[in-house]
Amino acid sequence: MGLESLRNLPAVHEIVPEILEKLPGLTPSEVREAVRKGIFWARQSVLEGNELPSIDLIRDKCVQLGKMLSRPSMDRVINATGVVLHTALGRASFPQVAVDAVSRVALGYSVLQWDRQTGKRGSRDEHVEGILKELTGAEAATVANNNAGATLLVLSAMASGREVIVSRGQLVEIGGAFRIPDVMKQSGCTMVEVGCTNRTHLKDYLNAITDRTGAILRVHPSNYRIKGFTSEVELEDLVSLGREKGIPVIDDLGAGSLVPLSRFGIPSEPTIMQSIEAGADVVTCSGDKLIGGPQAGIILGKKQYIALIKKHPLARALRVGKLTIAALEASLRVFLEDDDYIAANHPVYRSFSWKQGELMERAESIIRSVVVPQCCEAAVEKMDSFVGSGSLPDFAIPSAGISLGCPDPELLLKSLRLCSPAVAARVEDNSVKLDLRAVTIREDPELAEALEKSLAELWA
């Protein structure tokens, strides 16, 4: 037959209707694109010297390609890395109430900036400011798009054109080579470094104060630790110095916690309430780390400074939308309850609360449900998991999961990534490690299915 068989290729319009029936979730244009690619696949096969695929095979190929086209770019991931707040995977998983809030607001219009009492334009901050004040004791609050944006906005509003004093040991670089000195430069203020990398004293701040000083900035170095011969000035002492000299103190907490993590078996990070109680004039932190809500930069503090920040032109450029506000408000409300409620209803704190023995039992159950090829070996294994997103980098949480020895760990890792939902894991000691700390119980069957599918395709 040879190339003459190309005449028998179906036309696009001939098979689009039946493919459309098999892929009801696709638009007509997506189906046509899948059919074109399916016919092209058949044509290439013939040109390479093969026989013309049957019409059934061509249809199947079109359906397969259509399913690939319909897969959203932003797909769900089962996080088996052992890193609870994994930046590449979107950091925190929302509490169910936050998911519901986003869905409710996304379905139609909302009271984003509409005062129901007067019918006039209102403030989008009112949806979260009250609850932030209640939780932290701050006088006022506002929200920016993330904590880097919050820091940029605060410095621009409070110290542009003036000097800001900061310890050399706090000039951190966060993900993506994003550095505190760069943020300060962009804000229009002049950075004044004091102390040494490992030791800074109160007198260093005092000696650096001039008539051009606009603020004192403390940055919590959450993503690294300096140990040994070290010294940092306590926030309370900086606040006292600031009040004596009439200089505001800004505290950039980074992760920002609303509860002591020690209640969940993890060393505590500084809480927002501690900063407010210590007298910091303005406090900034992330909304999507230890608060476990959407990406946001939370700004709290004294009324006079928050009012100034809200009026700054950057406030509009860095403001958040209705979905962020809805998710943040709902996430914050979880922290109005006790620890048991938080652990049961907030995915981040539920992950922190798992006991190692409980995770081992889950791993055993998953292994029993998976057919493991003879060339592979699956075992329950104790592991170390981490908080992630720069929080507590030197603290490992005792965890557990599945260790899979196989002929090609990297190939298995890739196969798991291409599943739907995708599975994120890691390779250690020439084995694939699936840590269950950040995997929810409802995801256990999906993880088992993805694992069995990948193993069967690669080595059955």
CATH code: domain 77-87+351-459 is 3.90.1150.180
Dihedral of CA atoms 217, 218, 224, 230 in degrees, nearest 10, equals 120
Compute and round to an integer the Cα radius of gyration of the chain: 27
- Domain 77-87+351-459 and domain 96-345, same fold? Reply is no
10 Å CB burial of residue 48 (0-12, 13-18, 19+) is exposed
Q: Quick one: which of 393, 348, 395 has its CA closest to 172?
A: 393
Task: Choose which CATH entry (3.20.20.100, 3.90.180.10, 3.40.640.10, 3.40.50.300) describes domain 96-345.
Answer: 3.40.640.10
Tokens, residue 157 = 């509003």
Q: What is the pLDDT of residue 223?
A: 52
CA distance 98 to 78: 19
Sheet holding 140-144, edge to edge: 140-144, 297-301, 282-286, 249-254, 213-219, 163-167, 190-194
- Please, which contacts does 270-276 make with residues 24 or more away whose CB atoms are closer than 8 Å? 270/220, 272/135, 272/136, 272/138, 272/298, 272/300, 273/135, 273/136, 273/137, 274/235, 275/235, 275/251, 276/136, 276/137, 276/138, 276/300, 276/301
Residue that has been written with the tokens 């040879």 in this structure: 2
Q: What is the pLDDT of residue 226?
A: 60
* Number of neighbours of residue 356 by Cβ within 10 angstroms: 14
Q: Which residues of the chain have pLDDT under 50?
A: 1
CA distance 26 to 65: 11
CA distance 292 to 287: 6
CB 220 within 8 A of CB 252: yes
265 Rama sector, left if φ>0, alpha if ψ -120 to 50, beta otherwise = left
Q: What is the pLDDT of residue 183?
A: 83
Q: Is the link from the previous residue into 421 a cis peptide, with omega within 30 of 0?
A: yes
Tokens, residue 346 = 């907030």
The structural domains of the chain, with segments of one domain joined by +, span 2-70, 77-87+351-459, 96-345
Helices H / strands E in the chain, number of each: 18, 15
Q: What is the pLDDT of residue 8?
A: 86
Q: What is the pLDDT of residue 460?
A: 77
Q: 76 φ, ψ to 5°?
A: -80, 150
Tokens, residue 209 = 């104060």
Give one DSSP letter per residue of 391-457, joined into a string.
BSTT-PEEEEEEEEE-S-HHHHHHHHHTSSSEEE-EEETTEEEEE-TTS-GGGHHHHHHHHHHHHHH
CA distance 160 to 188: 5
Q: What is the pLDDT of residue 293?
A: 95
CA–CA–CA angle 64, 70, 76 (5° rounding): 110
